[in-house]
Structure 1
Amino acid sequence: MMLLGWLGLGAAFFSAVCVAILARLDRRRRNGITVRPRIRRLLLLAMLMPGLVLGFAGRWSDFLIWIGAAAILGWAIAALANMRGNQDQPS
């Protein structure tokens, strides 16, 4: 039997990886490198897919863990990406 919450936590880490890739793509776009919109849409869909699967499977406790952990990890990744982005710009 799988321990309660590990599925939701694993899904949150998967979503966090997608957020990190999106942050990297945004940084490249800010530097003038073009990024295909299709890639961004696929990453957005991949980021939300674990929550949809958990919801449709009825794993509500894992869904709540996923949504909470994904929000916190996404916020942390966005804050770190913004902090690095501010260091690249001259004062």
Structure 2
Amino acid sequence: MMLLGWLGLSGALASAACIALLAAADPKRRGVALARPGLRRWLVVATFMPGLALGLAGRWSDFLIWVGAAAILGWAVAALANMRRKPRS
């Protein structure tokens, strides 16, 4: 028997990984145009796939865990991606 919440947490980690890849490949942040615009679309779709799979499977408690954890992890990734590093003196 699988412990309650592990599917939701693992789905949130997968979504956070996709968000981190989106943040790393952001053309505005990098100052260049993205070579493969289709990649961003696939990453956006992949971000929401764990939630869709949990919803279709009827794992509503895991779905709610995924929603909460993915939101918190997404904010954390966005905050870390926007941190400015201090120049060395």
Give the Cα separation in 2 of the matches to 1:14 and 1:82: 21
TM-score, reference length from structure 2:
0.89
1:68 aligns with 2:68: yes
For 1:1-91, list aligned pairs within 5 A: 1-26=1-26, 28-35=27-34, 36-83=36-83, 86-87=84-85
Gap runs ≥5 in structure 1: none
- For structure 2, list consecutive stretches of 5 or more residues without a partner in the other structure: none
CA–CA separation in structure 2 for the residues paired with 1:61 and 1:31: 38
Aligned residues: 86
Could you tell me which amino acid in structure 2 is paired with residue 18 of structure 1?
C
For each residue in 1:51-88, what CA deviation from the matched residue of structure 2 results, as whole angstroms up to 9, or x when unmatched?
000001000000000000000000000001011xx338
> What SS is found at the alignment partner of 1:45?
helix
User: For residues 2 and 10 of structure 1, what CA distance do their matches in structure 2 show?
Assistant: 12
- Give the fraction of aligned pairs with identical amino acids, expressed as a percent: 66
| Whole-Å separation in 2 of the counterparts to 1:30 and 1:70 | 22
- Compute the RMSD of aligned alpha carbons: 1.7
Higher share in helix: 1
